[in-house]
Amino acid sequence: MTKFQMKYIALVLLETENLVSKEKTYDETLLSIKASSLEEAWELALKYGQSCQTSYKNGLGEEVSIHFKQLIDVNQYLREEYEDAVLELYSRHFEDLESYSHFEKLYSKSK
């Protein structure tokens, strides 16, 4: 018997470090997960994050390392059915727009 599966969104944070220059960048990845419970979705997201850990040499021959930093959040889809052409999957809430503007490089204060 197959358990009923729900859809979840997970937010994974990865860190990429150039081991020569010590430069670091961070990657937020949104995952769509089918699971029978929030706990199962959490475990699947953790496994995904851990599977991203690797090292390789870039085009300059420098060692680059990818680290799984943290599983930030796992929640059910807000909606699963399209009402129009757009489907809202995930929403984050915060109180400090100024801090967000420093963090989110794509955010434009002029809008």
The pTM of this model reads: 0.77
Whether pLDDT at 29 is above 80: yes
* Mean residue pLDDT across the chain: 86
Long-range CB pairs of 79-83 (<8 Å, 24+ gap) are: 80/7
Q: What is the mean pLDDT of residues 52-57?
A: 97
CB 35: neighbour CB atoms within 10 A?
20
* pLDDT band, residue 1 (cuts 50/70/90): very low
| CA 16/CA 56 separation, integer angstroms | 11
Q: Which residues make Cβ contacts (< 8 Å) with residue 33, sequence separation at least 6?
A: 7, 8, 9, 10, 41, 44, 45, 74
pLDDT tens per residue across span 59-85? 999 999 999 999 999 999 877 676 677
Whether pLDDT at 108 is above 80: no
φ, ψ at 33 (rounded to 5°): -130, 135
